[in-house]
Amino acid sequence: MTLSYTLAFILGLTPVLQAVFDLPLQLALQRGVLAAFLAWLFISAYRSGVPRQLAGKRFLPLWAAAGLSLLSLISSPFRGWVFNEWGNYGAGLLIFLAGSFMAAEERSRAERALRWGAWLVFGAAVLQAFVLGNFLTRPPLTNLNALALYAVMVLPLAAARRDWALTVAMAVLMIWTQSIGAILAAVVAAGFYAASRRGSSGFRENAGVLAVLGLVAVAVLFLLQADSVAGRLAWWRSAWEMFLARPLTGFGHAAFTWAQGGFQPPGVFREHSVYAHDYYLEFLAENGLPAAAAWFLLLFKEVRAREGAAKYALIAALAHSLVDFGLSVPANFWVFCWLLSSPAKDEGLYAPPRPYLNAALAFSLLLAASLARLDLRSLAFEKERAAAISAAASGDLDAAGKALAPELRGGLFRAPALELLGSLNAAYGGEPAAFRAAVYFEMALLENRYSAASWAALRRIYSAVGLEKEAAGLEARRREVYR
């Protein structure tokens, strides 16, 4: 019961909350999903036994993807920047697991919450467009393309339920965003639906519709803008170069935004992007080949096994993810993982011996305590960071250094703290502080040699007259890293 209400909250409210996500809210949602899942698991175990399928073949790719992706994060040079982001991926995996073991009534409750959440998103979009006037700059789900993917995922479910009002609302939202990727995704999903009815009268009846969809797809391709294509090609190339640099471990979940600058060759399109605009390349670059192989295998198997409207919503999402980043947005990813889940077959339960169950409970409590400690450390760093920025802005760089002193002694946030101090000295210290800024950036590179921000900052500092030798040495070191 607790699990179903938690999922109802997540599916119903997180899409409209996504645009106002901050670190405390993000951590609260991640830990809420984890706590609800653990509560369900141990209550079930003590009452009747643990579902046998958790250790079965169906979920082996999931456990492999989770473990390998977590190892990628632990070994990432950017772990101090992105370690909280892995919780969004972990929460999605738990949502998939939870949905696979929920009774029909519980699944129905979660699906109703999803539909009501879609109305909240649509209402927020209308309010922003006609009252607040900020729909284009800060839409629900943070970005128009991400919002379009959400509409594409919900639309087939609404149509299958014959909820025509919601179907029209999601179609309006999709058109409203003017997302070419969403239109292509809808065309692909419709094509898969028509192909699934091949050989039946339904295929012949839909042949005309399929032809029209093909013409729409061709027309949409002509609408692609040159700068949009150039940007994606550059981001895809950066993601591929990132993968080649660390093919087995990747750079850590959500590290693309921090690492990509170093992998953009000079003289080409250099617009910064938070995401690679290709979910598959991004996941590969961030998590490495073994984790990506396990995760994509799970996606393929589960989508293939799905039936009904959810199957085509998933196909549309996966097609959209070839050219955009919608699944990198946590709320979209959580909805996707819910759609991916389907009830596991009842193969009986087994109750593990009580000592093993007690050991598992103790381990889970230890894990929860460790996560809580990391969360508190992360929130403390955010406060220290804000204090350092405030002190530097008022002209007191020494106070900025003192605010970040706990992190400089070592630990997860040493590299981000060094980089921040370098930036503050460069921005607020003027010429006298340039040397100190360079020292901080050089120390940051010792912690993380792939820090594009540190390389760029040092290049600017060493471009001053009289530092030609330092500039040449810097470029040689950089070429050694990005060979």
User: In the chain, what are the domain boundaries?
Assistant: 2-350, 377-481
Residue 38: the pLDDT is 83
With 0.85 as the threshold, say if the pTM is over it: yes
- Other C-beta atoms closer than 10 Å to the C-beta of 226 total 7
Q: Virtual CA dihedral for 241, 245, 249, 252, nearest 10 degrees?
A: -60
Residue 362: the pLDDT is 78
Strands (E) across 322-410 are located at 349-350
The alpha carbon of 426 is separated from its chain's Cα centroid by a whole number of angstroms, namely 32
Q: Among residues 8, 28, 59, 31, which one has the least CA distance to residue 364?
A: 31
- Other C-beta atoms closer than 10 Å to the C-beta of 316 total 25
**Bridge partners, residue 349, by sequence:** 51
Residue 222: the pLDDT is 52
The alpha carbon of 182 is separated from its chain's Cα centroid by a whole number of angstroms, namely 18
Tokens of 170: 């999601």
Q: Among residues 11, 16, 9, 254, which one has the least CA distance to residue 126?
A: 16
- Other C-beta atoms closer than 10 Å to the C-beta of 162 total 8
Distance CA(467)–CA(483), nearest Å, equals: 24
Cα 75–277–170 angle (5° rounding)?
125
One DSSP character per residue, 135-162 reads TTTS-TTSSHHHHHHHHHHHHHHHHHTT
Tokens of 428: 């607020």
Distance CA(221)–CA(215), nearest Å, equals: 10
Residue 226: the pLDDT is 47
Tokens of 409: 């002694």
- Consecutive 10-residue averages of pLDDT for the chain (483 residues): 83 90 87 86 72 80 94 94 92 92 86 94 94 88 91 91 92 86 82 70 54 54 57 88 95 93 68 86 97 96 91 93 92 95 68 64 79 88 94 93 92 94 90 88 94 92 88 91 85
Distance CA(338)–CA(100), nearest Å, equals: 9
**Bridge partners, residue 50, by sequence:** 350
The label of the residue with tokens 């070419």 reads 180
Helices (H), 396-433: 397-403, 405-408, 414-428
CATH class as words, domain 377-481? mainly alpha
Residue 112: the pLDDT is 92
Residue 43: the pLDDT is 78
Tokens of 47: 């009452």
Strands (E) across 249-362 are located at 349-350
